Amino acid sequence: MAKNLKIGLFGFGCVGQGLYHVLKNSKGFKADIVKIAVKNKTKQRPLDKSVFTFDKYEILDNPEIDVIVELIDDAAEAFNIVSYALSKGKHVVTANKKMVAQHLQELFDLQHKNNVSLLYEASSCGSIPIIRTLEEYFDNEQVEKLSGIFNGTTNYILTKTISEKLSYADALKQAQEKGFAESDPTNDVEGFDAKYKAIILALHAFGVFAKPEEVLNIGITTLHTNDITYANEKNYKIKLVPTVKKLNDNQVSIFVLPKYVNADNHLYSVDNEFNGVIVDGEFSGEQFLKGKGAGGHPTGAAVLSDISALSYGYKYEYKKQHQNPDLEFTNDVFIKIYFRYNRLIDLEKLNFEEITERYSGGNYNYVVGYVALENIINNKDYILKNNLFVALVGEEIQQTLKNGKSENKKVSLSINA
């Protein structure tokens, strides 16, 4: 029988209010929000003042509160709250993907040490139940690859650049006006948000721990009209796609890049603020999940799902981590990319192993071909500084090319954010 939970809530912004609304209107589940911790003492709020507190320990040290729900923006303070709550033996639900990704190993250890549950479905892909799917449906089937659209803001912008022929700047402005993008959209448009989610999902899909500073993320800030024209000519759409792929018995690659997708790809039809996830299983093949990736209600619904699961004593089992204890993260792969460049020196920087398509004319130059992921990592700052554009083409991610140029060496790189 489900337990009637007492909740201590941190944060009452878009997601916090969304949770309050869906909890209040839920017909099949009841839980009480005992107290809500907020930061701004002068802000007007739609609930009675007695519900709110400005002292986090009034919630964290309250023995009547069973579950801490953390929904604040500050990742550092979120970790302080969550780690303290876990150490006090309280169950925690969070939507903070940056905090979870940055402290994944520590949070994993804290749960087991204190025999408590930390659930974070809402941290990854909005309303799509992807973590629970990986934990339950794919618990004993090997996942070969995980990819998708994990960020609704960038997908909205990219949709507008293709369907309405807007420039990147105009599409971003429209996304901000609609509330999909923050005034400072860096976290979304440069691919950090998608990277954090990919790192979290990599643990549940493959059992591998990866550090954010080791994983490549390049977003859509250098997108140019010429890149959009290329997409239109080839009947592609541009999506920002995190890719997590098992390479062999002991290595997994993770990176985030824009990608040209064709009409055969499930992600082709995922537009506006929607997210989509493709899970490629060893026996079941491709599974595709689609849902809203932005907004208070979709994320609030995911948080509510975790709270409901806690009422039945649910915990992540992390079976993949136990099944694949030797699996490690690597950047030692070759990928096929489109690369728009300005000068030959730009092209030389990436040191392509093989070029399959080339165009040069006036102020527009590009190549399509195979390049070592390490070369993109090492030149990330150069690419962004010189307004160059890199995008994945096709599905090929390989450790050894046909010409045998890969030395298959193991690398551990730190990437400047």
Residues 253 and 205 in one domain: yes
Is residue 403 scored above 70 in pLDDT?
no
Confidence tier at 181 by pLDDT (50, 70, 90):
confident
pLDDT at 2: 60
Q: Are residues 178 and 227 in the same domain?
A: yes
- C-alpha to C-alpha distance for 187 and 403, rounded to whole angstroms: 38
Q: Which of 39-48, 51-60, 119-128 has the lowest mean pLDDT?
A: 39-48
Whether residues 277 and 368 share a domain: the answer is yes
What DSSP line would sit under 345-376, residue for residue?
Answer: HHHHHH--SEEEEEEEETTEEEEEEEEEHHHH
How far is the CA of 137 from the CAs of 118, 193, 285, 323, in angstroms?
19, 25, 13, 15
Q: Which residue type is seen at 144?
A: E
Please check whether residues 46 and 72 belong to one and the same domain: yes
Residue 404 lies in a domain: no
Q: Report the distance separating Cα 399 and Cα 51, nearest Å.
A: 56
Cβ 304 vs Cβ 26: under 8 Å? yes
The stretch 237-264 carries a mean pLDDT of: 95
Q: CATH number of the domain that 93 lies in?
A: 3.40.50.720
Rounded to whole angstroms, the Cα distance separating 229 from 260 reads 12
| Whether residues 240 and 380 fall in one domain | yes
pLDDT at 413 > cutoff 50: no
Per residue in 52-96, pLDDT tens? 999 999 999 999 999 999 999 899 999 999 999 999 999 999 999
Catalogue the active-site residues: 197
Minimum mean pLDDT range among 34-48, 192-206, 335-349: 34-48
| 172 and 147 together in one domain | yes
- Residue 316 domain-assigned? no
Q: CA-CA distance, 297 to 17, in Å (whole number)?
A: 8
State which H helix or E strand residue 229 sits in. helix 225-233
Asked whether the predicted pLDDT for residue 289 surpasses 90, the reply is yes
Residue 126 belongs to a domain? no
Q: In the listed set 87, 119, 151, which residue is the last one of a domain according to the structure?
A: 119
Return the minimum-mean-pLDDT range out of 21-30, 47-56, 93-102, 349-358: 21-30
Q: Report the C-alpha gap between 196 and 100 in whole angstroms.
A: 8
Pairing of strands 389-398, 251-261: parallel
Produce one character per residue of 280-301: b if its CB has 16 or more CB atoms within 10 Å, e if not. bbeeeeeeebbbbbbbbbbbbb
Same domain, 341 and 372: yes
**Per-position DSSP letters for 258-274, written without gaps between them:** EEEE-TTSGGGG--TTE
One-letter amino acid identity for 132? R
pLDDT band at 415 (very low <50, low <70, confident <90, very high): very low
Same domain, 113 and 147: no
What CATH number did the domain enclosing 379 receive?
3.30.360.10
User: Could you tell me if 279 and 354 lie in one domain?
Assistant: yes
pLDDT at residue 408 is higher than 60: no
Q: Looking at the structure, tell me whether residues 112 and 199 fall in a common domain.
A: no
As a whole number, mean pLDDT of residues 137-164 equals 93
Mean pLDDT, rounded, of the chain: 90
* pLDDT at position 406: 44
Please return the burial class of 159, using the count of CB atoms within 10 Å of its CB with bins 0-12, 13-18 and 19+. Answer: buried
Range of the domain at 41: 5-119
User: What is the distance between the alpha carbons of residues 288 and 232, in angstroms, rounded to a whole number?
Assistant: 25
Residue 320: Cβ within 10 Å count: 23
* Exposure of 119 in the CB half-sphere (CA atoms within 13 A): 28
**CA separation for the pair 87, 1 (Å, rounded):** 26
> Are 99 and 143 part of one and the same domain?
no
Number of domains within the chain: 2
Which residue type, as a one-letter code, is found at position 408?
N
- Evaluate if residue 396 carries a pLDDT over 80: no
> 190 phi and psi, to 5 degrees?
-95, 0
Q: Which two tokens stand for residue 314?
A: 């649910």
166: in domain: yes
Asked whether residue 95 falls in the same domain as residue 181, the answer is: no
- pLDDT bin (cut points 50, 70, 90) of residue 412 is very low
Q: Which secondary structure element, helix H or strand E, spans residue 136, and what is its range?
A: none
Give me the pLDDT at residue 410, please: 34
Tell me if residue 44 falls in helix, strand or coil: coil
Nearest to 154 by CA among 236, 16, 302, 267: 267
